[in-house]
Chain A
Amino acid sequence: MSSMNSSTQNLTPEMFQPIERDTLAQEGVSSKKITFWGDVWRRFLKNKGALIGALLLLVIGILAIVGPEIHSYSYRSVNYDLINKEAFGDHWFGTDGAGRDVWTRTWYGAGISLLIAFLATAFDLFIGVPYGCISGYYGGKVDNWMQRIIEVLYGIPNLIVIILLLLWMKPGIIAIALALGITGWITMARVVRGQMLKLKSQEYVLAARTLGASTRRMLTKHMLPNVLGPVIITIMFSIPTAIFFEAFLAFIGLGIRPPEASLGVLINDGYKVLQLFPYQLFFPALVLSLIMFSFNLVGDGLRDALDPKLRQ
């Protein structure tokens, strides 16, 4: 059928001289050095949704810090001359029933909500991660007992725990964060334990054991760096949950007490005058939704970026 077609290519006998094999080229690896996190970062940047989410979070974060300072209004000082002013006037988001600037209060409240969420997540990290680590790494009887404890805790409705705790302590940032943290770390502990069990049978972990690595080395060099991905993802999804739960507590009257503000408190206040001054509900609710939305976008993006199954 087909025959050697040498007329189209200018072939010369010189081209048929044998050449030396380049042994280095044979062991070639890509010229660019790619670290694991560099690779994650690259993939994250390619995800538009996640990037939008991250950008939104950045803007919200900055506004939560600078927002309350832009105007000279205080988030707490009452001014009965300026009750329930319309939005988009002197007061960008209007004022509430006590004459307080809603813009200032919204961003102040967003800051408090985020702070509570971060504190609650810190609990996840400091209780959940070590708990899961120990349970998964040692396995056997230890694991069995620790899991039974978790199951019992999981069986208690967390609302009851939180209500009891808030009755005992005065509702404040620390108390609410503690209440959320105490019930929230179980998910993290389970995620970490699952990862540990998986990692324990990985061959590189076995290899470290045959080399006689100490428990500390095993945990710090081999196990923890490899559970970091799932931990970050869990955090990205537990922060919005905590924010939402804080709003829910405020809504049922267990939140921070006015004049302190959080997004939940503002939404609760706004809801009472919804039919008269809807903007008082609208702005805090919008910020809350945007926070939830962007954390979920970023969380999804990070999960895709960290998931080795999608790697090429």
Chain B
Amino acid sequence: MSAVEPKVEKILEVQQVKKHFNVGRGQVVQAVDNVSFDVYKGETLGLVGESGCGKSTIGRTIIRLYEATDGNINFKGKMTKDLKGKNLKQFNREMQMIFQDPYASLNPRMTVGDIIAEGLDIHELAKGKERRDKVVELLKTVGLNEEHADRFPHEFSGGQRQRIGIARALAVDPDFIIADEPISALDVSIQAQVVNLMKKLQREKGLTYLFIAHDLSMVKYISDRVGVMYLGNMVELADSQELYDNPLHPYTEALLSAVPIPDPETEKRKERIILKGDVPSPIDPPSGCRFRTRCPKAMGICAQEIPTWQEVRPLHWVSCHLYQEESLKKEEGVK
């Protein structure tokens, strides 16, 4: 279809994935609905969106903490939902996760050494002195040192804990890491430490990241490509520079304009798109395009038809009626 087909191989394919949660009384939360995207080997794909948009749910579904309600997830050519036994163990080594809350992501009753070595123990990768050496090596990789191995998590600061969490993920030599808001709970100066570390590790180990966050400036900085999610749908996906320079979806535009920029002059001159109202409930999402209730450019057709996920420019995907000729024609017809 497009001229510039990337030569790199796909490591992960997410196809039409749905994840619905039954919340009782016959109500269903459509946390993720028909989301499709690919992740290429060695890249960082950023996922942004506001709370409740389903970005964390999709991450957890990919790593099989949740079971997808519908759709397929292919990791290295294998359907993840069919993995069993040895293959599942292999999958657990190849895909790892970094969590959001540095205070909840480390077991308070285990020493840092045991936390980091958990993967080694589970997969029986190293024992005795070899295990200890590996732990020390991992501690050094994330900028800590040997004496920290016998300490308990509560003796560390948030940034240090987050690095311990990274070391735990690295212990099993993964290729693909899902980072679920890894810096949201950290202070600004510490965020930069963790992001720099993640970038360094990517260069050295050729890691692939799925970086989930709500901080757009950080996502733009760390990602090669960025996907924007809204209320369980992916609304736009493009190269990060392209997305920030030419946002197509009205939601992306609003999101970008809402980010406060640390520059008073720019702030004064900036025309801000202020969206009206709040995100609707994912239990009963709006018909047609889910963004239409807050969209400044909503048309009649937006309430009737769900926009299709289309590549409107090379490698720039968007799901919006404004960029679909047929929809625009229909809209004209209505008028």
Contacts and interface: CB of A to CB of B under 8 A. Distances in A.
Establish whether A and B are touching in the complex (CB under 8 Å): yes
Interface of A: 24, 27, 29-30, 33-36, 39, 202-204, 206-214, 217, 221-222, 225-226, 308, 311
B104 A204 contact: yes
A27 B160 contact: yes
Contacts of A222: 107
Nearest to B90: A212
Given A33-B151, A210-B92, A203 B100 contact: yes
Nearest to A214: B122
B199 interface: no
A210 B97 contact: yes
Given A27-B148, A221-B107, A225-B109, 19 more contacts: A29-B148, A29-B151, A33-B150, A33-B151, A35-B152, A36-B108, A36-B109, A36-B154, A39-B154, A210-B63, A210-B97, A211-B92, A211-B168, A212-B88, A212-B92, A222-B107, A225-B107, A226-B107, A308-B108
B152 A36 contact: yes
B65 interface: yes
A27 B148 CA distance: 10
B155 A210 contact: no
Nearest to B123: A212
Interface in B69-108: 88-89, 92-93, 95-97, 99-101, 104-108
19 contacts: A27-B148, A29-B155, A30-B155, A34-B152, A34-B155, A36-B109, A203-B101, A204-B106, A206-B60, A206-B65, A206-B97, A207-B168, A208-B107, A208-B118, A210-B95, A211-B118, A211-B123, A212-B92, A221-B110
B92 A24 contact: no
B156 interface: yes
B145 A27 contact: yes
Contact of A202 (B88, B104, B151): B104
Nearest to A223: B107
Contacts of A30: 155
B164 to A, nearest CB: 11
B208 to A, nearest CB: 16
Given A203-B99, A207-B168, A226 B65 contact: no
A27 B157 CA distance: 9
A30 B148 CA distance: 10
Contacts of B89: 212
A195 to B, nearest CB: 13
A225 to B, nearest CB: 4
A207 B105 contact: yes
B109 to A, nearest CB: 4
A204 B89 CA distance: 19
B119 interface: yes
Nearest to B60: A206
A33 B147 CA distance: 10
B201 interface: no
Which 8 residue pairs spanning A and B have beta carbons closest together? A212-B92, A203-B105, A203-B99, A225-B109, A204-B107, A203-B104, A211-B119, A29-B155
Contacts of A202: 104
B280 interface: no
B197 interface: no
A269 B99 CA distance: 63
Nearest to B110: A221
B298 interface: no
A226 B108 contact: yes
- Of the candidates B63, B95, B97, B109, the one having the most CB atoms from chain A within 10 angstroms of its own CB is B109
Contacts of A206: 60, 65, 97, 99
A213 B99 contact: no
B143 interface: yes
B168 to A, nearest CB: 7
B144 interface: yes
B165 interface: yes
Contact of B122 (A27, A36, A212, A225): A212
B172 interface: yes
A210 B96 contact: yes
- Of the candidates B60, B99, B148, the one having the most CB atoms from chain A within 10 angstroms of its own CB is B99
A222 B109 CA distance: 8
Contacts of B165: 207
A209 B65 CA distance: 7
B92 A207 contact: no
B156 A29 contact: yes
Contacts of A33: 150-151, 155
Given A33-B150, A202-B104, A311-B154, A207 B145 contact: no
- Of the candidates A34, A206, A209, A213, the one having the most CB atoms from chain B within 10 angstroms of its own CB is A206
A211 B143 CA distance: 23
Nearest to B144: A27
B100 to A, nearest CB: 7
Contacts of B95: 210
- Of the candidates B95, B110, B118, B160, the one having the most CB atoms from chain A within 10 angstroms of its own CB is B118
B126 to A, nearest CB: 14
Contacts of B115: 204
Contacts of A214: 122
Interface string B163-175: 0010011001000
Interface in B44-63: 60, 63
A33 B169 CA distance: 25
Contacts of A204: 104-107, 115
A217 B99 CA distance: 20
A210 B73 CA distance: 16
A226 B65 CA distance: 21
B54 to A, nearest CB: 17
A209 B66 CA distance: 11
